Amino acid sequence: MTTFRLPDLGEGLSEAEIVAWHVSAGDHVSTDQPLVSVETAKAVIEIPSPQAGLVSRIYGEPGDVLAVGAPLADIDGGPQEEHAGIVGDLPSAPETEQPAPAAAAAARDGRQREETAVRASPKVRAEARKRGIALDTVTGTGPGGTITMDDLETHPAGTGDPVAEPLRGARRTMARAMARARDEVAPATVTEEADISHWSAEDDVTVRLVSAIVDAVAAEPRLNSWYDGENDAIAVHETVDLGIAQDTEAGLFVPVLRDVAAQSADALRERLTALKTRVRERSATPDELRAPTITLSNFGMIAGLHAALVVVPPQVAILGAGRIAERVKLDGGKPVPARILPLSLSFDHRAVTGGEAARFLAAIVTSLEAGR
């Protein structure tokens, strides 16, 4: 009997949340067959079985958070023949052969955990909280017992009091990152506006912003840094690895475009589109969600003009782009229509001076307004 433990997933990650088991106690697995999917602070990762054998016990259920090194599954390699069939498709045993009592009990226990695990999408969970309905009291009619919106409609209303549920996945990661930023960063924000009336219909707002950040980093490199508050040290990066804040139903993600200064506008758009798709599909790799040197939040695509954004250490700056607005401005004393892009630059005042931040923002505006 071998106890397979949660492996070190790299990037300094110390824990992971179980998303879904692909096997149950009593199933036979082959080497490298998907065993369980877990979610880290970076991505959803599929963990394969390290060996072939009979799964006699699984530890934890969807939603449980396990530390690296914690038991995941007991696998009995035994003398059984390798059988790479469908999960749960076991070789026939002689009629007189009975499972050992301990293995049978473990199998029942594993199946019971799988049967009782609450399965529901983030949208359904949010609606249940709103209605004061405890999900463990709802019978799911969706695939595998998943609770659907229709199930909530037919379930008796709750007390009206919100039901507290622990934060999961990306939302838990965001909560911890925001708490760290609150405790470590000395935040400050400067705002400005750029006149983009001359932009054509083909101009991509996000790509133009990326190019402007590259220009601004060339003018004020210190904004593209990591700050070590414990040692009062700053590391200025030679390349711009740009984090792009992305709002999803599962929470906030920040996929990273590597070395954006070396990419053409077309290449940037193609890479960004593909990266955002992988984030939505939860197929982005941990490397694609780690270590940005500076971040862009184009929140104006939803709403808002200016914002005091949160700088997540060790970064020292984040640029926010607000909603493009039609304005009337004076040009040579005459009123003319204009398209105005509001900009907000939040920075860590421990590492960046107000003058450096202002010059960086001025360089952003100059780049965006180039060609007028």
Domain of residue 152, CATH code: 4.10.320.10
Does residue 358 share a domain with residue 341?
A: yes
115: helix, strand or coil: helix
Does residue 318 share a domain with residue 238?
A: yes
- Give the separation between CA 121 and CA 144, rounded to whole angstroms: 13
- Give the separation between CA 223 and CA 211, rounded to whole angstroms: 15
Residue 173 tokens read as: 């990661």
From the list 315, 278, 274, 277, the residue with the least C-alpha distance to 297 is 315
Count CB-CB contacts under 10 A for residue 90. 14
pLDDT tens digits, 86-115: 333 333 333 334 444 444 444 444 444 433
Does residue 348 share a domain with residue 274?
A: yes
* pLDDT at residue 80, rounded to an integer: 43
- Give the separation between CA 299 and CA 368, rounded to whole angstroms: 17
Does residue 186 share a domain with residue 251?
A: yes
The residue out of 166, 182, 198 marking a domain boundary is 166
Amino acid 243 reads: G
pLDDT tens digits, 217-275: 999 999 999 999 999 999 999 999 999 999 988 889 999 999 999 999 999 999 999 99
315 DSSP assignment: B
Q: Which residue has the tokens 């997540």?
A: 312
The full length of the chain comes to: 372
The residue out of 52, 83, 116 marking a domain boundary is 116
Count up the domains in the chain and report the number. Answer: 3
Burial 173-194 (b: 16+ CB within 10 A, else e): bbeebeeebeebbebbbbbbbb
Q: For residue 212, count CB atoms less than 10 angstroms from its CB and return exposed for 0-12, middle for 13-18, buried for 19 or more.
A: buried
Does residue 83 share a domain with residue 216?
A: no
Per-residue pLDDT of the chain (372 residues; tens, 9 = 90+): 789 999 887 766 788 888 889 998 889 999 999 999 888 766 778 899 999 999 999 998 888 888 889 999 999 875 444 333 333 333 333 333 444 444 444 444 444 443 345 778 767 887 887 778 888 788 888 877 888 888 888 887 665 666 677 787 788 889 989 999 999 999 999 999 999 999 998 899 999 999 999 999 999 999 999 999 999 999 999 999 999 999 988 889 999 999 999 999 999 999 999 999 999 888 888 889 889 999 999 999 999 999 999 999 999 999 999 999 999 998 888 999 999 999 999 999 999 999 999 999 999 999 999 975
Does residue 144 share a domain with residue 206?
A: no
Does residue 104 share a domain with residue 137?
A: no
Domain of residue 225, CATH code: 3.30.559.10
- Give the separation between CA 163 and CA 192, rounded to whole angstroms: 42
Give the sign of the dihedral formed by CA 115, CA 116, CA 122, CA 127. positive
253 DSSP assignment: E
- Give the separation between CA 79 and CA 326, rounded to whole angstroms: 74
* pLDDT at residue 163, rounded to an integer: 66
Cβ-contact 122, 280 below 8 angstroms? no
Say if pTM beats, i.e. exceeds, 0.85: no
Cβ-contact 63, 168 below 8 angstroms? yes
Count CB-CB contacts under 10 A for residue 65. 16
Domain of residue 42, CATH code: 2.40.50.100
The residue out of 166, 201, 230 marking a domain boundary is 166
Does residue 341 share a domain with residue 296?
A: yes
209 DSSP assignment: H
Q: Which domain holds residue 97?
A: 2-116
Does residue 188 share a domain with residue 46?
A: no
126: helix, strand or coil: helix
From the list 185, 190, 181, 195, the residue with the least C-alpha distance to 355 is 190
Cβ-contact 131, 157 below 8 angstroms? yes
Does residue 157 share a domain with residue 122?
A: yes
- Give the separation between CA 224 and CA 209, rounded to whole angstroms: 15
Does residue 224 share a domain with residue 106?
A: no
Omega into 314 within 30° of 0, i.e. cis?
A: yes
Does residue 186 share a domain with residue 73?
A: no
- Give the separation between CA 186 and CA 227, rounded to whole angstroms: 12
Measured torsion, CA atoms of residues 133, 139, 141, 146, in degrees rounded to the nearest 10:
70
* pLDDT at residue 159, rounded to an integer: 57
